Structure formats: C-alpha cells, structure tokens
Structure 1
Amino acid sequence: NTAEELMLIHLPDNVVKRSASASVSISSDLMGLALQNLDRLVQMPHGCGEQNMVLFTPIVYVLQYLEKTRQLTPAIKERATGFLHNGKYNRSTNVSYVQCYQTQLLYRHRDGSYSVFGQRDGEENTWLTAFVAKSFGHAKKYIYIDDKNIQDALRWLEQSQLPNGCFATKGSLFHSSLKGSVDDEISLGAYVAAALLELGQPLKGKLMQTTFNCLQYAVHNVTNTCTEAVLAYAFALAGDYQTTQELLYKLEEQAIESGGQIHWSPKTSSPASTDFWHSTQSLDIELIAYVLLAYLSKPRLRARDMTTAAGIVVWLTQQQNAYGGFASTHDTVVALQALAKYAARMFSTSGQALVKVKSQRDFGKTFQVTCQKRLLVQHAELTEIPEQFLVQVQGRSCVFAQTVLRYHEPTPQTTVTFSLRVNTELANCSQANMHVLTVRILASYTGSRITSNMVIMEVSLLSGFVLDSGSRMLLERKTIIKKVEVEADVVYIYLDKLSDESQSFILQLEQIIKVKNLKPTVIKIYDYYQPEEQALAVYSAVCS
C-alpha cells in the first residue's frame, strides 16, 4: 500500500526569464479535473458545428459517469445541465452565454442533417450528423432535446446509406489523413454504426443489419490502424466477441509498450519538431481512446483486458492538458468518454490515502485523499523550478497526480508544416491623426499531406487597434474563408484548408487608442485537428 514516482520539471534553454510557473494537482477520481473545468476543456475557438459539440458532449459523459457511480448531487447536476444549455460559464460575472444546444441547431440543414458551417456549406456532413444525433440522444435524459432533431438526423443517415450497407461520404472527413485511403468508407461506416448503437438503435433492425454487413465484408482487408480501432469498438458494442477479438489481436501486434504504458500511433513518420516538449498528435489520442472503448465494451472482459486497459489509461492521462481536456476537439470527446467508462468500471466506495510531494530542496506538501471527497482536486504551487519532485502515496486509493508547467519562449523562427509571411504598411503617421495599419499575410501548407485539415489563423491585435468593419466584409467574401470571428483582442479566421499554393489575406486595422511604446504581437496559424502543426509570425506598427 505504498507507491512513489519521480516527476522531473525542467525548462528549455530559450525560456523567457522569470516567465515560468508550475503547480501540482491531486485527486482520487479520473474525472475530477474535467468536472472542475467543463467550460474550458479545450483552449481553442468554438466557431463551427463540430467544435461547438466539444462544449456539449463531454459534459454528458461526465453526468453519466457521476450517475452510474452515485456521485451526482443536485448541485453538480444543476451546474452541468446549465453548461449543456449554455455551453460556457462566465466565472467572473456568473452570466451564462453561448447557447450550446440552440447554437448547434444553427448548423442544421432543412433535411435534418448537420455540417460544419450549416447552410453556408455546399453539402451536408455524414460524420457530423451521426455525432450530433448520438450526442443529443445521450443528453435528452438531462435537458430538453426536441426528439424531432434526432429522428430527422437518423432519417437522413438512413437515406445516405449505400446499397452495400456503408454510408456515402458527404462533407469533409474529420482527419484528412484518412481521405482517399481504401479504408475511408469503412472508417466512416464504423463510426456511424457505433453512434447508432450508442443511440439505442436495435441491432436486428434493417439499418444496423445492412451496416454491419458492409463492415463484416471489409473487416479482414483493413490496413489502417485508426479504422481497426473504430471497427473494434463498433463490433464490441454489437456484441460480436469473435470479430472484436480478432481486431484487438491485430492492434496488440502494433502496440507500443514502455514503462507500464501502452499506446499506438498511426504515424509512419514524423516531421522534425522544434518543440521542446513532445507534442502528441490528436489523432493518436483519438485512436487510443477507441481502442480503450473497444476493450471496455467487449461482451466478455478478461483480467488480461483490464491490465491492458490500465496501461492505456496511464498513457492517456499523461496527454491531458491542465484542464482535463486534450489536444483538440474530437480527441477530447472520445478520450473523456473512454476514461469515464474506465473510471466507472474501477470505481470503489472505500479507500483513503496520504499523498506527499517533496523536492530535493525545501518544498514539501501533504494531501489527504478520501472517498468522501474523491471529486475534490487539490492544488499547490511548485515554487522550485526546475526541480525533481518525489510523489509518495500511502494507503489504498486511486490517486491521480498532475504537474503543470507554464512558461514563455521566443517566437520560433523555423517551421515545417506551414509557411507564414507577414508584411505591414502603416499610413497616416502624423501626430495629429490616428494610424491605419495594413497587414498582408501570405500562408500555405508545407507539411507531408496533400492538404491540411481546417485551419485557424489567429491574428492578435496590437494594443489600441481594431479590425476595420469593411476589411472583415472583404475577408468573408473569400471562398477559402468559412468564418471570421472578432474577440476583444484577437481575430479568428477559419480557413477550409490550405495546400502548397500560397493564399493571400489583407487586414485593415484602425488605431482607436494611442499607446506609447507599442509592442509587437503575434499571428498564429495551425491545423485545428492537429494543432501541433503550426507556424508563428511577429508583426508591429512602426512609422518610418
């Protein structure tokens, strides 16, 4: 009943002086961290129909877990269902905003389907329609969901079924790494099948029977690891032990095991990275979460399966961000679903432990973990960095310890996945007038794929400057731009995708407040679903 582990916190060579801070959090519930941060699991914009669901779906999984483990109090339920209605919560003013459920209906087409940007898109999206339908189906136990929205989506999916039982690929697939592969149709079919079974569609009904006919025919010819993982989960939900086990055996042969951790990677090669920390691709997380779901959903679970699941969970929890989410949107949704399923299976109403965190110098902190306060997340600032900390646990309990390190570093000068060039021209430089700044941005994708996924361009505004309204209208007329959002000091530009062909963007900024010693700021461009693929550029406003 004693365990200990070393946690090493070290800094990169180019860290900005005095910018680093670190903390440790201790809890006895895998879902505790996510529960405390339901409104900020992913630190990314949420301006489209798929991203909006990351505000919605994980909350349902947390509610299901708490209900299953009898930890759902009236206070927690009120707070969580408030998020389902409102999507976000303003902690400083206690004002709810961003109508999450209602917002999702803005991305609905007249035929009951959904797409990333709603009616603005040229076609519906099969994957997103299945995702929304199953999420609404899970949520209707906790908030009012018009059942017509679910039934219309199901009807559209049924009409989109091909003669062979698979589904027509309408709209962009979630990850472009699967586009054009022979497994494309099968991965989508497996995802839709799993979504329909989660929604409670009868396995012996015509829709499910024809879907699994398609999947069963293709299961032996699949070569893509991601597709194998989603297929394994779908067949596990269907109660097909033999096919599930066959797929899991294939996956086990490709598993990467080290230090009690088990994971998989769909990557054949990785571009050279200048990041100090290893950046796990969101596709890796999604793949591994589906493998975990497949193991936990099997009709018959063996002790060996739970040992494998435990190794997966150890790896998966190490990829969580400081708020309990993961790298991007759908990997957060699937990973939290898998972790909630594992936590429910391993739940115990007894146990307590004493946790000590100490450094080699003077730092020392003791935490008491009890089953009565298992959802409590305890925090402490780590005042000595860089440093090596020893975490000691004594007792009988599940203990989840996470260290968080934050620091600033200079803008990197090299990039391998995007090309980003910025030129500025400052007009009206006389003292009597406010300045007008023209920002010209040239961007292209230079990574290993033919095109990127959806791209976000974040233009941080210089202090005292705002985006000209006419400039915004001109941006929105460009075909490649799907949406422009303006926050207080950032302009978010959603791009359909980028290729190796350079795209030009012009922003007109107006100075409304004069600021002395105006500092440069940053433009960031990144692949929304694989945010480790990014580029940064600095711009400023200097009169000649």
Structure 2
Amino acid sequence: VVRAVMDVEMPEDVVPGSLHVKVAAMGNVLNRLVHNLGEPLDFPYENGDWNIASMAINIYVLNYLKETQQLEHSMKEEDAVNFLKKAYQTQLSFKDKSGAFSIFKSGPRSSWLTALVMVTLYQAQPYIFIDENVINEARKWLECQQRENGCFKESGKHLTKKKGGCAIDEVAYNAFILAAFLEMGVSPDDPVVKMGLCCLKESIKDLQNPFAAAVSAWVFTLAKDMEPRAQLLHYLDKIAIKEETSVFSSLLISSYVILAKLTVTGSPRDLRSASHTFKWLVEHLNYYSTFSSTQDTMVAVKAIALYSKCVYTHTWSSTVSIWSPNDKVVFQLTPHNKLLYQEMVLQDINGKYSVKMKGTACALVQVCVHLSCDKYLSGVDVEHVDYKDNRVFVYVRKVREILGVQLRRALFGGFFCPCFHCMSLPPQLHKNIPIIHKLHLVQEYFVFNNKAVNVLIYDYNNPGYFFRSLLLFQTA
C-alpha cells in the first residue's frame, strides 16, 4: 500500500471560468503516448528537428508494444504507421543532394540531425517502406565528416549550444553520432566507428561535462566496452544529487543514464539503480506525458520505454483511490485495461488531495490543473502584434538569450493559406524593430462578422511559454 498527499494551489492570474482539475490513473507510464499514437508531438513540426522527433517517439512506443506483445491490443498500429508514412515524406523535404539533412529547408547541413534521421529511418523499417539509399547517403555524408583523429566535424549551426538545458560540447556531439551508427547495428570494429570510439576514449580522460559523460556511457554500452562505461557511470554517480539514491537535475542526463544502464546488460543491480532515476523522470512528465522540449521528450520516452520493457509483467492488479475535500474517485487497474487511459474531473479545485494505491504493480497517478492565464514568451517580451496590409507585425519590448522563436497563426472563416501556419522568426530580434511576416491567403467564400483569431509566438524548445494576441482581419 502506498499513500501520498498533494496540495493543489491556484495562481492569481486565472481567467474566470477556465479552471478545472482532472485526475488520471494508468497502469503503464506510456499509456497517454499509446493513446496518442499516430499523432505528432504537441509542437509544430514544420522543421526537420520536430518532425523527426515526433517520428522517433512513435517508433519507440511501437517497439515497446511489440516487444511486450501488446501491439495488437493497442489497436493503434494503423494510426501510427500512417503517421510514420507522412512524417517520412515530410522529412525528405529537409534533405539535400549530399544526403545530409537541415533543420530548416535550405538551411545549413546538420551532422547532429543527419545522424538522428539516419538511425530513426533505420528503426522505422519494420513498420514502413524506407528507401535504403536515403539511409546510405546520410551515412556516407556523416563518414565524410570524420576528422583524422576519429572525431566528427560539428557541421551546421544549431539554434543553441544547449539542448534540454545541457551543454553540447565536441565530446557529446561525437558520442551522439557514434550512438547512431551503433544503434543501426554497425560493428564497433567498423573503421569509422572504431576511430570514433578511440577519439571518444581520449576525450573522456579529463571530462567535466555530465551530459557528455552520460551520452558517452551509453555509447560504450552499445559498443559493449564495459571499462570506460563503468568509469563514466562512476563519475556520474559521484556528481548526482543524493536522495534515496542517485538522481540528476537534468532530464536528458537522467534519460541517457537509464539507457546506459539498461540497453545491453539490464542486470538486477543496474535495474535497481535505474529505478530511482526513472521515478524522478516520470514525476516530471506533463499532462500529455511529454516534456517542455522536443529533445527532452524524445530521449526520455526512449528511456521510459526501455525501463518499462525491463519491468513488464503479464499478471498484476492495482486499485487507486483519490480523495479531495468533497469528492472521491477510484480506478481499477488490471491487465485487461492496462492500455486504457482513464481520466475523471474532480469537483474540488483548491485543497489537499490524498492518494492511496494498493496492489502488485506500479501505477502513474496525475492530478492536472487546467486553466487559462496570461503567459509571456520565455526569452522574448512581446509588446504587441499588429496586422496591416496582409502582414503581421511583431513588436518586441525586450530580448534575452533564446533558442529561436516561432510564430503560429490561425485562419479566419472563408480563407485558407497554401503555406504552413507556422513560421520561424530570426533569432536576431531587436527592440522596437518589428519583424514582418507577410500572409498569402486565398478567399474561398465570404463569411459575415469574422471573429478575431489567435496569433501565438513562442520559444522553439519551450512552446509552453507563449505570447498570445487576438487579431481581427478586415476583409473587403
């Protein structure tokens, strides 16, 4: 029997009538992602980064269901496969003649993205047709990026030198590309991989970057080179936050540590050690079972799926009871409804919520507060958004270091846009200098009394922080 108490407090700037509390109980941490199979992430995906991240997450969940013999019961395979087909075609639009991929169309080639696309398309092959030439051309281009010392050139400009709050240095960059080769089944004795591993071994002798250490530990696990793996995991254990056992303040580091401990060995000792990191990771899931950034979500789902596979059992049952001051709900979790997403709305809003779970398996319980309030873009303080002569003007009050800015607009009745609803604003934003985005709209039919539509501006890797403006488009 496990008991817990949660105190729910409401923010002050809530829009009246928008507040409600939902509780959900799942016998599987991946239930929400299974429920959403075949759908993209809760991010726009009109660039090569977001698109391949959505594709990878669907593959990780599909692999988990397949390896635990639950794929037929999920009844989501067809939706996921259809999404993978569309995402694959979308991804090809970010490929150039060299075989490399870019984050944005006609942008600089990215070694990091090319490695991710290469391994993701390789892993998609059991579900959809993938042209082998696409994978081979990406691999050949990456191999040409290898220096004489075995490390890979950092090709392509990133929107940031950090991903998910982790500094990406040359060691982490090299390790990520090597992991892509090894996950494709390329032998550690392959000349390119062998040189890369030698370079990586030299680089970790004076390693000061925990993120690079975590990725490198995963690489040496994939290569079945246990000596440097043990060295890196020991280093990470020393710098970890000591609570019940080692956990990490970074979602990406935590995810890669789980991958390093369970990818090949999965020994009882590694499983016990990874369980506390896994618990901390799951506690940071949002309502949609994702995280604030695409990279956090992609790598964390991979780690969660691996851990869930290692602890999966066919026989279990649990009862979850949740009390609020004036309400009570009970969820029965069994193997028969293990993939069912169960959710209910509570009458109470403020106050303490008591949770009790009794049974023979783990359960994920979420208490989610849904509300509307004024949020501002993380990194950019937007003063206002204007519309004139078919153009959207974005006025910026203050700019801090950001990952990149996206603008997404809705359309008003009677019109359609032949281009994407989302655009990327340049990261070089300046005070009092408007960014102009010209709209090309086609009127299909006339609509009386058009209402204002939403224009959202948000951080590239933190779409939860946004500036929202209502624009009323006047038509002749």
Establish whether residue 527 from structure 1 lines up as the match of residue 456 from structure 2. no
**Cα drift, residue 318 of structure 1:** 2.1
Q: Secondary structure at the match of 2:420?
A: strand
2:379 to 417, 420, 444: 417
Secondary structure class of the residue paired with 1:342: helix
Give 1:116's match in structure 2, choosing from 94, 103, 106. Answer: 103
Partner of 1:375: 339
Cα pair distance change 1:416/1:128, threshold 3 Å: closer
Number of the residue aligned with 2:248? 264
Shift, 1:351, TM fit: 1.2
Specify whether residues 144 and 366 from structure 1 end up closer, same or farther in structure 2 by C-alpha distance, changes over 3 A only. same
1:311 aligns to what?
276
Q: Which residue is 1:455 aligned to?
A: 405
User: Alpha-carbon deviations, 1:463-484, whole Å to 9, x = none?
Assistant: 66979x8xx9xxxxxxxxxxx7
Matched, 1:393 2:357: yes
Q: Distance in 2 between matches of 1:223 and 1:4?
A: 40
Equivalent position amino acid for 2:461 in 1: Y
Secondary structure in 1 matching 2:366: strand
Q: Quickly say closer, same or farther: Cα 1:540–1:337, change in 2 above 3 A.
A: closer
Partners in 2 of 1:17 and 1:311 — Cα distance?
A: 39
Match of 2:305 in 1: 340
1:80 corresponds to: 80
Shift of 1:200: 0.6
Distance 1:115 1:424, change over 3 A: closer
1:131 corresponds to which of 100, 116, 123: 116
Letter paired with 2:221: A
Report the residue type matching 1:264 in the other structure.
Answer: F
Report the secondary structure of 2:96's partner residue.
coil
Aligned position for 1:103: 90
CA deviation string 1:379-435 (max 9, x = no partner): 1111211232222111211211122221011355xx772132336477xxxxxxxxx
- Aligned CA distance change for structure 1 residues 535 and 353 (closer, same or farther; 3 Å): closer
In structure 2, what is the Cα distance between the partners aligned to 1:458 and 1:285? 27
Does 181-190 or 161-170 show the bigger shift? 181-190
SS at match of 2:306: helix
Q: Which runs of 5+ in 1 are unaligned?
A: 86-98, 266-283, 427-435, 473-483, 487-491
Q: 2:141 aligns with which of 148, 152, 156?
A: 156
Match status 1:33 vs 2:32: yes
Q: CA RMSD for the aligned pairs? A: 3.0
Aligned to 2:226: 241
Partner of 2:424: 494
- Which range moves more in the overlay, 63-72 or 167-176? 167-176
Q: Any idea what SS the aligned residue of 1:136 has?
A: helix
**1:300–1:65: structure 2 CA closer, same or farther, 3 Å change rule?**
closer
CA 1:175–1:289: 2 relative to 1, 3 Å: farther
Which letter maps to 1:446? V
Q: Which residue type is aligned with residue 150 of structure 1?
A: I
In structure 2, how many angstroms separate the alpha carbons of the residues matched to 1:404 and 1:108?
40
TM-aligned CA deviation for residue 51 of structure 1? 1.1
Contact kept, 8 Å, 1:262 with 1:315, in 2: the verdict is: no
Match for residue 146 of structure 1 among 131, 149, 168: 131
Aligned residue in 1 for 2:217: 232
1:277 paired residue number: none
Matched with 1:515 is: 449
Cα deviations across residues 57-112 of structure 1 (Å, max 9, x unaligned)? Answer: 11111121112112121744333322222xxxxxxxxxxxxx21111111111121
How far off is 1:7 after superposition?
Answer: 2.8
Q: Give structure 2 stretches of 5+ with no counterpart.
A: none
Q: Quick one: structure 1 residues 442 and 18, their matched pair in 2 at CA, closer, same or farther if it must change by over 3 Å?
A: closer
| Counterpart among 420, 423, 440 of residue 393 in structure 2 | 440
Given that residues 42 and 326 in structure 1 are in contact (C-alpha distance below 8 angstroms), is that contact kept between their aligned partners in structure 2?
no
8 A Cα contact 1:41 1:325, kept in partner: no
Query: What TM-score results when the alignment is normalised by the length of structure 1?
Result: 0.78
Q: Which position in structure 1 is the counterpart of 2:315? A: 350
Residues 420, 535 of structure 1: 8 Å contact kept: no
Letter in structure 2 aligned against 1:197 = L
Counterpart amino acid of 2:248? W
Q: 2:467 aligns with which of 536, 539, 544?
A: 536
CA distance in 1, matches of 2:385, 2:47: 29
Match of 1:485 in 2: 420
Shift of 1:216: 0.5
Q: Tell me the secondary structure at the aligned position of residue 48 of structure 2.
A: coil
CA distance in 1, matches of 2:263, 2:127: 23
- Shift, 1:288, TM fit: 2.1
The Cα shift of 1:502 comes to 6.4
CA contact (8 A) 1:61 1:340 kept: yes
Deviation at 1:494, TM superposition (A): 0.8
- Tell me if the contact between 2:407 and 2:455 (Cα under 8 Å) persists in the aligned partners: yes
Change (3 A) 1:540 1:160: closer
Secondary structure class of the residue paired with 1:47: coil
Q: Conserved in 1, the CA contact under 8 Å of 2:325 and 2:348?
A: no
Amino acid at match of 1:12: P
Matched, 1:301 2:236: no
| Aligned-partner Cα distance in 1 for 2:358–2:397 | 53
Question: Could you tell me how far apart the structure 1 residues matched to 2:29 and 2:14 are?
Answer: 31
Distance 1:255 1:168 in 2: 30
Aligned residue type for 1:296: L
| One-letter amino acid of the structure 2 residue matched with residue 29 of structure 1 | N
**1:199 counterpart residue number:** 184
Q: Residue 287 of structure 1 aligns to which amino acid in structure 2?
A: I
CA distances 1:269-308 after superposition (whole Å, capped 9, x unpaired):
xxxxxxxxxxxxxxx32232112211223647352x3233
Distance 1:453 1:424, change over 3 A: closer
* Cα distance in 2 for residues equivalent to 1:375 and 1:402: 16
Structure 1 residue 14 displacement after superposition: 1.9
Note if contact 1:239-1:299 (Cα within 8 Å) is conserved in structure 2: no
Identity of aligned pairs, percent?
27
Partners of 2:317 and 2:333 within 8 A in 1:
yes
d(CA) in 2 for partners of 1:3, 1:128? 43
Report the residue type matching 2:379 in the other structure. Answer: T
Give secondary structure in 1 for the equivalent of 2:434: strand
Secondary structure, in 3 states, of the residue corresponding to 2:192?
Answer: helix
Q: CA separation of 1:500/1:73 partners in 2, compared to 1, >3 Å: closer, same or farther?
A: same
Structure 1 Cα separation of the partners of residues 162 and 341 of structure 2: 37
SS in 2 for 1:368: strand
Deviations 1:1-42 (A, max 9, x none): x11222332211221222112211112112211100124463
> Is the CA contact (8 Å cut-off) linking 2:151 and 2:174 kept in structure 1?
yes
Distance 1:257 1:9, change over 3 A: farther
Separation (CA, whole Å) in 2 of partners of 1:425 and 1:8: 43
| Contact 2:322-2:330 at 8 Å conserved across structures | yes
Q: Work out the CA distance in 2 between the residues paired with 1:439 and 1:183.
A: 35
Letter in 2 for 1:325: T
